[in-house]
């Protein structure tokens, strides 16, 4: 029996995503079928849609989602029908140098990056039989998806599906950048540049870490209020002059914050994050720029002041450990993830959501499936 699923399909980068009804293969050995409940719209989806990063097409979009297990493939014992799962956009290969050294989040050979199931098969095809890939092998912007069981992380009872969806990307990326990549200690001063789902998750992570000062920076004033609502102690409206932002940030943090997180993905704000550092300070680059973008910094003060620049992919995620942990913290109220969501849309509202994101209008827009 073939399952039909409506899905947001990118047929060619730079063009609007279109909603198509596709055929979904049955789950095979090691695979599960997920009935999607919620999918977040992340800036990385916009990068893909706009062609900032080269990705194969046609492809079903979305990499931040959660749903229920609807069917399991032959021999699958790790999952049961009816379980709520958050989907991981990176299933490490397990054998490359990064994986062997225990840095699975840095795996370059993940089948997820081929946007197919591990053996190269595609879960979706058009009614005419043309294969359609799944973005990061999970394709969350579809009513249903067939994924590797390893990508489907079972959530604790009582977890809100939309919260689970956000744990799949922005929460793990931002909270993990603070707690795992940077290991921010209690009492530190922190600044976060860019307050979308990723930046607000950095703010939440800094609050969990016990940072004494959390300065939230954006060019959109409403984002500063959103950040205060999830733990920021100060808001700083960024204007067109980065030097003025750096000066204001230094004033607020006794000469510069111990840690600055860049959560936009722009070279100028990466440079701002590095320029704002005091002696011994650390800049953590979390936002992903278009491919090929370059940034520069003054070398002498970096060395002389023992400053550090860290890259953080997916918050150093070990999804099977981190997703349930972050979900438990959300249930306890330590991570107020639900406050990140400020707009609910349906699948056919995706292009409108992208337009709003370009204007910096929402904290997190979430697709629900009716």
Contact positions vs Zn ion (CB under 5 A): 42, 44, 169
Given ligand APR, Zn ion, none, residue 231, with its beta carbon under 5 to 8 Å by kind, binds none
Report the alpha-carbon distance of residue 36 to residue 160 in Å, rounded: 13
Helix (H, G, I), strand (E, B) or coil at 26: coil
Helix (H) or strand (E) holding 86: strand 84-87
Piece of 6-14, 42-50, 131-139, 296-304 that binds ligand APR (CB under 6 A)? 42-50
197 binds ligand APR (CB under 6 A): yes
55 binds ligand APR (CB under 6 A): no
We find the least distance from the C-beta atom of residue 73 to ligand APR, in angstroms, to be: 31
Report the alpha-carbon distance of residue 369 to residue 145 in Å, rounded: 13
Report the alpha-carbon distance of residue 140 to residue 60 in Å, rounded: 8
By beta-carbon proximity to ligand APR, the closer residue of 266 and 325 is 266
Report the alpha-carbon distance of residue 87 to residue 73 in Å, rounded: 17
By beta-carbon proximity to ligand APR, the closer residue of 47 and 213 is 47
Range 176-195, binding ligand APR (CB under 6 A):
193-195
Given Zn ion, ligand APR, none, residue 67, with its beta carbon under 5 to 8 Å by kind, binds none
Binding mask 204-233 for ligand APR (x = CB under 6 A): --------------xxx--x----------
Range 348-367, binding ligand APR (CB under 6 A):
357, 360
By beta-carbon proximity to ligand APR, the closer residue of 72 and 263 is 263
199 binds ligand APR (CB under 6 A): yes
162 sits in the region (left: phi over 0; alpha: psi -120 to 50; else beta) called alpha
Residue from 87, 198, 204, 276 in contact with ligand APR (CB under 6 A): 198
288 binds ligand APR (CB under 6 A): yes
We find the least distance from the C-beta atom of residue 160 to ligand APR, in angstroms, to be: 19
H helical segments located in the chain:
43-50, 97-100, 161-167, 170-176, 197-209, 221-229, 242-252, 267-275, 299-304, 319-332, 350-358
25 binds ligand APR (CB under 6 A): no
User: Could you count the other beta carbons within 10 Å of the beta carbon of residue 312?
Assistant: 24
Phi and psi (nearest 5°) for 66?
A: -145, 155
Cα 78–Cα 146–Cα 348 angle in degrees, nearest 5: 135
315 binds ligand APR (CB under 6 A): no
We find the least distance from the C-beta atom of residue 11 to ligand APR, in angstroms, to be: 21
By beta-carbon proximity to ligand APR, the closer residue of 161 and 199 is 199
88 binds ligand APR (CB under 6 A): no
Phi and psi (nearest 5°) for 310?
A: -120, 140
Q: Using alpha carbons, select from 217, 143, 244, 202 the residue that is nearest to residue 335.
A: 202
3-state helix, strand, coil in the chain (%, to 5): 35, 25, 40
Cα 91–Cα 94–Cα 100 angle in degrees, nearest 5: 130
Residue from 88, 159, 269, 312 in contact with ligand APR (CB under 6 A): 269
By beta-carbon proximity to Zn ion, the closer residue of 52 and 234 is 52
37 sits in the region (left: phi over 0; alpha: psi -120 to 50; else beta) called alpha
Given Zn ion, ligand APR, none, residue 111, with its beta carbon under 5 to 8 Å by kind, binds none
We find the least distance from the C-beta atom of residue 169 to Zn ion, in angstroms, to be: 3
Residues that bind ligand APR (CB under 6 A): 42-44, 47, 170, 173, 193-199, 218-220, 223, 238, 263-266, 269, 286-288, 357, 360
């Amino acid at each position: 029996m073939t399952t039909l699923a409506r899905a947001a399909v990118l047929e060619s980068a730079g063009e609007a995503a279109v909603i198509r009804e596709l055929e979904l293969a049955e789950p095979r050995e090691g695979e599960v079928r997920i009935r999607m409940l919620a999918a977040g719209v992340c800036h990385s989806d916009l990068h893909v849609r706009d062609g900032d990063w080269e990705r194969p097409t046609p492809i079903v979009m979305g990499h931040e989602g959660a749903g229920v297990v609807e069917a399991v493939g032959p021999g699958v014992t790790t999952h049961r029908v009816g379980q709520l799962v958050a989907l991981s956009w990176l299933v490490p290969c397990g054998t490359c140098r990064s994986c062997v050294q225990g840095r699975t989040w840095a795996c370059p050979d993940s089948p997820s990056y081929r946007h197919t199931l591990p053996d190269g098969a595609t879960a979706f095809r058009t009614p005419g039989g043309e294969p359609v890939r799944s973005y990061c092998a999970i394709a969350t912007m579809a009513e249903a998806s067939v994924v590797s069981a390893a990508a489907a992380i079972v959530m604790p009872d009582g977890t809100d599906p939309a919260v689970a969806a956000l744990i799949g990307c922005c929460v793990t990326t931002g909270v993990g950048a603070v707690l795992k990549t940077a290991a921010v200690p209690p009492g530190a001063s922190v600044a976060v540049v860019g307050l979308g789902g990723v930046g607000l998750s950095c703010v939440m992570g800094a609050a969990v870490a016990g940072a004494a000062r959390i300065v939230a920076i954006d060019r959109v004033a409403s984002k500063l209020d959103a950040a205060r609502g999830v733990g920021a102690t100060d808001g700083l409206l960024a204007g067109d002059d980065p030097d003025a932002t750096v000066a204001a940030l230094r004033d607020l943090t006794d000469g510069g914050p111990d840690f600055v997180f860049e959560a936009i993905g722009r070279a100028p704000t990466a440079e701002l994050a590095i320029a704002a550092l005091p002696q011994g300070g650390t800049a953590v680059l979390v936002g992903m720029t278009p491919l090929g973008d370059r940034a520069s910094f003054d070398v002498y003060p970096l060395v002389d002041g023992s400053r550090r620049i860290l890259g953080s992919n997916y918050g150093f995620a070990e999804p099977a450990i981190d997703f349930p942990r972050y979900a438990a913290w959300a249930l306890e109220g330590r991570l107020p993830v639900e406050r990140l969501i400020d707009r609910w849309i349906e699948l056919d509202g995706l292009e409108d959501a992208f337009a709003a994101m370009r204007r910096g209008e929402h904290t997190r827009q979430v697709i629900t499936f009716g």
